[in-house]
Amino acid sequence: MLHMFVAQTKAESIRIIRSPFFLLFSIAMPLAFYFLFASMNGVDKSIQSTTWGVFSLMSMTAFSLIGTAVSQFGIRLSLKHQDGWVRLLKLTPLSPTVWIGSKIVSQMAVHLIVIVVIFLSAGLVHDIQLTAGQWILCGLWLWIGSISFLALGALLGTLKNANTSVAIGNVLQMGLAIVGGLWMPLSTLPSWMGSVGEWLPSHRYANGAWNMIAGQNPAGIDFIILTGCGLLFMLLSIYIYNRREAV
């Protein structure tokens, strides 16, 4: 069982990394947005007790991980449902637990790679000045917090129609980024949008990192909303899957 899990995890990790969509949407696009926003607003210009260079770095890393969880994980799960792979899985020695577990572990490994690549790129190009502790803590917060969005991806993956999954996934990714204040601070958005954005898990996800680079701890509400949404998404996906299996 362990050998099977390791082999499947390795295969899943290689598949994701080799995907051109991963390189484009999880690495290239977030980095392009980062350099664009940081340059437009001024890398060293102050914002929320830090600078635009650092603020945008945390925002775009969060944006990348949310997108990776939704597209590379959620949409591909939906494709597997549509293609009938989940039903065929029952005819193989590979158990559903090992299969989904390997996907989660490989996705988390890829998320760690994304964080390192984006952090290194920003640090080298803009000479970002953070302490070793801030780099590590922010990276860990973003890495562990991405589990909540993997749960959202799992919920999206319960859809049997892949076209619907792609459409909803794209809307979710862009909506969570824009309304959540990842592209521009909530204070620059219309008041009603800012009021909504404060309660989105994407905003609380990035806000924890913003607090850390300002020398503070993530707010309690950041933990509550991020964890609560993650648990809700996970329970809903399990319920839908079990209900479908019972039919």
Domain boundaries, the chain: 1-246
Q: Give pLDDT tens digits for 141-177.
A: 999 999 999 999 888 888 877 778 888 888 999 999 9
Cα–Cα dist 69/86, whole Å = 19
pLDDT classification of 179: cutoffs 50, 70, 90:
very high
Q: Flag the least confident range among 72-76, 173-177, 223-227.
A: 72-76
pLDDT recorded at residue 226:
96
Q: What is the pLDDT of residues 11-57, one digit of tens each?
A: 778 877 887 777 888 889 999 999 998 888 888 888 877 888 999 99
pLDDT, average across residues 202-223: 94
- Distance CA(216)–CA(207), nearest Å, equals 11
Question: What pLDDT is attached to residue 14?
Answer: 83
More confident residue, 156 or 2: 156
Q: Which two tokens stand for residue 115?
A: 């964080």
pLDDT the model gives residue 40: 86
178 pLDDT exceeds 90? yes
pLDDT at 6: 77
Q: Give me the pLDDT at residue 247, please.
A: 55
> Which amino acid is it at 78?
S
Q: Is the distance from CB of 17 to CB of 112 less than 8 angstroms? A: no
pTM > 0.85: yes
246: pLDDT strictly greater than 60: no
Q: Per mean pLDDT, which of 49-53, 78-82, 99-103 is the most reliable?
A: 49-53
Question: pLDDT tier at 101 (50, 70, 90 boundaries)?
Answer: confident
Residue 242 predicted with pLDDT over 90: no
Q: In Å, what is the CA distance from 32 to each residue of 20, 24, 35, 66, 236?
A: 16, 10, 5, 16, 34
Identify the pLDDT of residue 206: 96
CA angle centred on 111, ends 241 and 209, rounded to 5°: 105
pLDDT at residue 174 in the model: 92
Q: How far apart are CA 242 and CA 247, in angstroms?
A: 9
Rounded to an integer, what distance in angstroms lies between the CA atom of residue 50 and that of residue 56?
A: 10
- pLDDT tens digits, 50-59: 888 999 999 9
pLDDT of 58 reads 95
Q: Tell me the average pLDDT of the chain.
A: 86
